Chains A and B, each alone.
Chain A
């Protein structure tokens, strides 16, 4: 079982999820076994305005632990991340970052804002 620890910059309570990756996908948005897939299936809200199709940055997370246990980012994800506020060297899009190791311990921080929410008056 992989373990995913989710912290929120807005102060929401931390969540800890244990997941059997062999059962992925757990729902329909994002890549099967991705951070978004795991979080949504466990009732953890993570914004994903484009439906998890790698067309926005709203599912941006900062990976605090376990970065090397995630799938490598592709160019489309990297291009989008370039436009994400609060970008860090371990930033990923939750819809694209697939947990690849069933023993992995992944810790992610969900930032407070996304650029899309800042730029849109009705965001």
Chain B
């Protein structure tokens, strides 16, 4: 089975509402690829629950990683993590996951972040901007656009924030109906059924492999 490691909760940042960043100190660091996640092993109810969270920070700071999460009503995992004080230990495995971006795309790329889906997308955007030769767009579907100023400062990246309910129409209008260019690449990340719905919408116009996604 996977090697377990232990991190220490070093800092907490509330974003308002029920959204929060947890900063974990990891001795020795985590060598991860932009887009990957770790799986927290949480002692709840006499068991150890596995709760995966995308790493929202950069691989350039492997010894302090950021997790971004919403408190889920009646969700034991997020409830537990929201109750942890600074200094608490968090066991985890990873990094894991194949929704990754290792280098700047060689075609125009569109990133779609739905709410906390920005966690996986954020390090991907920074990586994509390194040596980018084609346009990069972030469609950020959220009522709470955290990291907005940081994202707006990424060279070559266009950031468009829309309401969560507007994502589907926006995608249809801009990348399916506006032109016949079908060379773009898409990276979609978010929570729930909206993700496969957007996947299906995009795959209706683009090649299957042009649409990468992660659904939580």
Contact for A122 among B30, B37, B98, CB less than 8 A: B30
Q: How far is the CA of A28 from the CA of B49 in the complex (A)?
A: 9
Q: How far is the CA of A121 from the CA of B52 in the complex (A)?
A: 18
Q: Which residues of A contact B213 (CB under 8 A)?
A: 79
Q: Is the CB of A51 within 8 A of B49?
A: yes
Q: Is the CB of B97 within 8 A of A76?
A: no
Q: Is the CB of A122 within 8 A of B94?
A: yes
B60 to nearest A CB, angstroms?
Answer: 15
Q: How far is the CA of A29 from the CA of B99 in the complex (A)?
A: 21
How many A-B residue pairs have C-beta atoms within 8 angstroms? Tell me. Answer: 77
* CB nearest neighbor in A for B199: A75
Segment 12-70 of A: residues with Cβ below 8 Å from B:
28-29, 45, 47-58
Interface bracket on A: 20 to 34
Q: Which residues of B contact A121 (CB under 8 A)?
A: 31
Q: Is A115 located at the chain interface by the 8 A CB criterion?
A: yes
Q: How far is the CA of A76 from the CA of B197 in the complex (A)?
A: 11
A15 to nearest B CB, angstroms?
Answer: 15
Q: Is the CB of B98 within 8 A of A50?
A: no
Which residues of A line the B interface, CB within 8 A? 28-29, 45, 47-58, 75-76, 79-80, 83, 115-117, 119-123
Which residues of B line the A interface, CB within 8 A? 1-3, 5, 28, 30-33, 36-37, 39, 49-52, 93-99, 196, 199-200, 213-216
**19 further A-B pairs in the complex, CB-CB below 8 A; given A51-B50, A122-B3, A123-B94:** A28-B49, A49-B93, A49-B96, A50-B50, A51-B39, A52-B50, A57-B98, A75-B196, A76-B215, A79-B213, A83-B98, A116-B94, A116-B95, A120-B95, A120-B96, A122-B28, A122-B31, A122-B94, A123-B2
